[in-house]
Amino acid sequence: MRLKKMAVIVLIGVNMILLTSCFDYTEYEEMQLIFGLGVDSGTNGDVIVTIQSSGFKKTNMQAMGGDSGSSMGSQNSTMYKASGKTVLDALNQLQQITGKELFFGYIKVIIIGAEAAKKDMDNIMAFFYMSPRIRGSAYLLIAKNTAYDTLGTVNLNDSDLSAQSLENMVKKSVRSGVSFPIRLSNYYNIILTDGWNAAIPQVEYQQVSSGEQGGEKTVVNDTNPSIVPEKEGYHLVRNMVVFKDNKKVGVLDEIETMCYGFITGKKIKSSYVVKDKDTHDQDYVMGLRFLHNRSRINTHINNNQIKIDIDIDLQASIEEYQGDEALANIDVIKNFEADLSASLKNEIQTCIYHVQKNYEADIFGFGNRVFQQYPYKWQEELQDKWEDIFLIVDTDVRVTAKILNTGSNLEPFK
């Protein structure tokens, strides 16, 4: 018995020594770390892939043979671009020019060019869906122009790579309500769900040296492969790009994007301006900041007629006021709450109508909510018809606003 135990222990020990490494292990020094990736449509039907990789410049002490462990030096980036018949083919071309194993474990953002989003999205996203090298935590962005120029625009006042800066901008954009982050894994969850179309944040750039604005270029040169220069500028992440059947069909403006956020239950911390709605003796302008919001979507089917009820509760604080009425008066505050509710209700109803009539894409997930509440009827009658039903479905929006804070002074500024 003791011999058997000893044999088992020895066998386990041998296995621990021999079976600890990964089958595709690569030394860190042999990796090309990729932080950003962009995909554009080429001029000949190919796709153009741009990657931003990072390295570290040696400090003076390291260059003179000093202690290399004391500092890694300053971070620098290199942009590579290649074209191919597919994303994988282009990446294979990039592998040749970098001389190292492309490593995507640190990837922050994936940017799809405007033209590619219109006509090549299926083929592009199929690669990201299947490849184990691409993590689902990367943020997905749609360029207003080309992904190549967007990723290659760097802010010299920012020590981060442009991919890292874009990641931070995407995270913070929700505060102003001008866009709402979507990770690669979230995108696939949406498009693989019945009764739901995707909306993805849009990114644009302004290049300082040339004054070029991010909306002019749509096609990039497909010289293959090449190291490409970066240009000084800055980015803006705002508005949501609407997709139908995995193709770009339009863009929500800033107010529509905010309304989309309210409907879908996104947490909104942005500001909003309300003007007099003819309920007061004096004209006024009031600037508010949203503190908390919650939405509830319920569906009803009566006599084969579908109705969508959207209830939105929100809380806000007054941060700007141009008027003559004292904010200490509770009746005045109630009137302001009514004005805020009515203004947002109108904006949200207009947004829904615009999406129904112009984009015909259910980015709100109404169809999915019908499926959740009426699964049998959805599968038997509604699923195949929902694209047409969505265009005419009746919606009832109710907004209940509460003002919790009236600012530092209760008396108006005169």
What is the spatial distance between Cα 299 and Cα 374, in angstroms, rounded to a whole number? 9
Instruction: Answer for the pair 180, 201: CB distance below 8 angstroms, yes or no.
Output: yes
CB atoms within 10 A of CB 50: 26
Confidence of residue 176 (pLDDT cuts 50, 70, 90): confident
At residue 361, the pLDDT reads 96
Give residue-wise pLDDT tens across range 291-306: 999 999 999 999 889 9
- Contact, 361 vs 342, CB < 8 A? no
- Grade residue 111 by pLDDT with cuts at 50, 70 and 90: very high
Nearest to 310 by CA among 388, 398, 390: 398
Percent of the chain with pLDDT over 90: 51
Give domain 253-414's CATH number out of 3.60.15.10, 3.30.300.210, 3.30.300.30, 3.40.50.410. 3.30.300.210
Instruction: Give buried/exposed letters for 235-252 (b at 16+ CB in 10 A, else e).
Output: bbbbbbbbbbebebbbbb
Residue 70 is predicted with a pLDDT of 38
Q: Compute the residue count for the chain.
A: 414
| pLDDT of 140 strictly over 70 | yes
Predicted local confidence at residue 160, as pLDDT: 82
What's the pLDDT band for 99 if we cut at 50, 70, 90? Answer: confident
Domain chopping of the chain, boundaries: 1-251, 253-414
**Mean pLDDT of all residues in the chain?**
83
* pLDDT of 144 over the 90 cut: yes
Helical H segments across 46-107, by residue range:
60-63, 87-98
Q: Which residue has the higher pLDDT, 1 or 43?
A: 43
Mind listing the pLDDT tens digit for each residue in 267-286?
Answer: 988 888 887 655 555 577 88
Query: Regarding predicted confidence, which is higher, 156 or 380?
Result: 380
pLDDT at 325: 74
pLDDT at 327 (0 to 100): 75
Phi, psi angle pair for 261, to nearest 5° = -65, -40
Cα 385 to Cα 84, 198, 311, 390: the distances in Å are 38, 18, 26, 9
Distance CA 270, CA 276 (A): 20
Q: Alpha helix locations (H) across 74-113? A: 87-98
Contacts of 216 (CB under 8 A, 6+ apart): 145
